[in-house]
Amino acid sequence: MIIIAEIGINHNGNINLAHELIRQAKLCGADIAKFQFYDPDKIFGPKGTYPDKKNYEFALSVQFNFAQAKVLKRWSDEEGIEFMASVFDLERFGWIESLGVRRHKIASRSVQDKELCREILKTGKETFISLGFWKGKGVPYKDKNARYLYCVPKYPCEYSDIELPASFAGLPYQGFSDHTIGIEMSLIAVARGANIIEKHFTLNKGLVGPDHVCSMTPQELSDLSKYARIMEKIAAR
C-alpha cells in the first residue's frame, strides 16, 4: 500500500508551512509527500490573457523556485518521507531529476503532453499517472514502469461523479487519485483492490486555495493510513 499525501500547492507559497506539511504527512502515516511545480504562464496563458485574474495571481504566489525545491527535498529526507512532485514542463522535470527523486508523477493535465511523459518514462523510474483527462482507449503509454490511477479531475469531486471499478484486479488502474471530500471513497477503493492512494493534504480545509476543501486533514490521513493498511493485511490472508 502506497499512500501519497498530495501537498501540491496547499503550502500557499509559505515554505515554513510546506515544512510542517511534510512533517505532519510523515507523522500521520503517508509514504510520500508530493508537491506541484509549474509555470502559471505555461498552464494558464501569458499574464493578462487568463480570464480569472484572482486564480492566476494566486497561482503565481504559490510557486517555489528550484532553490526552494531543493530545501523541500532535504526536509523530506530529514523527516524520513519520500519526496515526489508533479511537474508540468521539461525545465521543472530537470529540477526534480537533479534532486535524485525515486519516483515520478504525471498529473491528469499532463498526460497528453507526449514529450514530457516520454522523457519522464525514459528515466526507467516508477511513474504514477493520473488518467483524469485521458479519453483514449486503453492506457496512453505502455511502459512497464507506469502505474495508472483512476481520477476524476474536479475539485471537489462529488460521489456521484465517481465510477470506481468493482475490482482493481486485472485492470490498468493500480490506484485512485481522490478529490472527494473525506476519506470514504479512498477506503472503498482500497477495499476493491487499489494499492496506491493519492489525496490532497492540508492542515486546515478553510485556508484560501482551490484544493484545501477536498484535502484530508492530519486526522483523516492518520485514519486513512491506519484502516487502509489493516484492510490490506486482511485481504492478503
DSSP 3-state assignment of 216?
strand
Question: Whose CA is closest to 148, among 119, 117, 122, 123?
Answer: 117
Per-residue pLDDT for 48 more than 70? Answer: no
DSSP 153-210: --SSPPGGG----S--TTSSEEEEEE-SSSSHHHHHHHHTT--EEEEEB-S-TTSSSS
- Cell 504514477, located at residue: 128
Per-residue pLDDT for 201 more than 90? Answer: yes
**Domain span including residue 10:** 2-235
pLDDT in tens, 99-130: 999 999 999 999 999 999 999 999 999 999 99
Q: What angle do CA 55, 57, 60 make, to 5 degrees?
A: 110
Contact (CB, 8 A) for 105 and 84 = yes
- At 50, the pLDDT band (50, 70, 90 cuts) reads low
Give every CB contact of residue 143 below 8 A, 6+ residues apart in sequence: 121, 127
Average pLDDT over residues 167-177: 92
| Total number of domains constituting the chain | 1
What is the pLDDT at residue 51? 57
Q: What is the CATH number of the domain that holds 162?
A: 3.20.20.70
pTM, two decimals, is 0.95
Of all residues in the chain, the percent with pLDDT exceeding 70 is 97
pLDDT in tens, 7-47: 999 999 999 999 999 999 999 999 999 999 999 888 776 66
What is the pLDDT at residue 170? 83
Per-residue pLDDT for 175 more than 70? Answer: yes
What is the pLDDT at residue 149? 97
